[in-house]
Amino acid sequence: MRLPSIMFCIFLLLFVNASHAQQCGSQAGGAVCAAGNCCSQYGYCGNTAEYCSPSSGCQSQCWSSGAGAPPPPATPTAPSAGGGDISGVISQSVFNDMLKYRDDTRCHAPGFYTYDAFIAAAKSFGDFGTTGDSDTIKREIAAFLGQTSHETGGWDTAPDGRYAWGYCFLRENTLDSYCNVTQAWSCAPGQKYFGRGPIQISYNYNYGPAGQALGYDLISNPDLVATDSTVSFKTALWFWMTPQGAKPSCHDVMTGKWTPS
């Protein structure tokens, strides 16, 4: 489930839009960052050493020189009501613009991938779309929508190109069993574990842990991922937020909690 760079760039440009313009300091007419955040030497707001340390060129609201430890981080500027509520970060109109063909009758899931289901599912993952500064928050949501659009996107000859058709598909076309009998999670009789939902979750060894974490028996009823919109988004967010084996989670990578060694 690798994110092509073009998908990430398209969604980041659509969503973040002007957020990459300098926000503070000499690059922005002497503006000061909101919520006590520091202004980096490059004119961006944040609360980590690269923004706040005088040795890194911090321009305003910097950490004191020689301080033994940085002050507590500033209050996050992103909405946090309800924990994991990202409706104040991404509006329904922006969501619709990003995924403008998802309800097209040429797609396999018109009416399934709704904004309300996405927002409701995100509330089950309090750190998704709420971690870091404003740019980091937007980058993570854009990356998630870009990745899931790649997984469910259109075809090469589609109007506006395949990358404009995110969330067009609901189930994998092949409908193979995807049962790995060597794994700890047994397969239920008659059930198949082909790709379903925004992340196209596949194999019994993903359906089992996802269902366990979310409180659903997805081994016995994997098609719940293709019949309940909120559950479908929850499985995608579970995969996004959960480290897989020796690999870090997508969330940790996109928010900078993990960096290559």
Structure token digits, residue 180 = 């790995």
What's residue 245's pLDDT?
80
Q: How far is CA 253 from CA 25, 78, 136, in A?
A: 28, 19, 11
User: Inter-axis angle of helices 5-16 and 134-151, to 10 degrees?
Assistant: 130
Could you give the domains of the chain?
Answer: 1-66 (3.30.60.10), 87-261 (1.10.530.10)
What's residue 34's pLDDT?
65
Give the whole-angstrom CA distance, residue 199 versus residue 249.
14
What's residue 193's pLDDT?
96
What's residue 80's pLDDT?
33
Q: How far is CA 107 from CA 31, 200, 233, in A?
A: 47, 15, 18
pTM: 0.70
- Residue 100 DSSP SS3: coil
What's residue 78's pLDDT?
31
What's residue 22's pLDDT?
66
What's residue 35's pLDDT?
59
* Residues involved in catalysis: 151
Give pLDDT tens digits for 199-256. 999 999 999 999 999 999 999 999 999 999 999 999 999 999 999 888 899 999 999 9
Low-confidence ranges of the chain (pLDDT < 70): 1-22, 34-37, 47-48, 64-83, 182
Q: How far is CA 226 from CA 29, 42, 109, 171, 229, in A?
A: 51, 46, 9, 7, 7
What's residue 14's pLDDT?
53
What's residue 77's pLDDT?
28
What's residue 161's pLDDT?
85
What's residue 140's pLDDT?
97
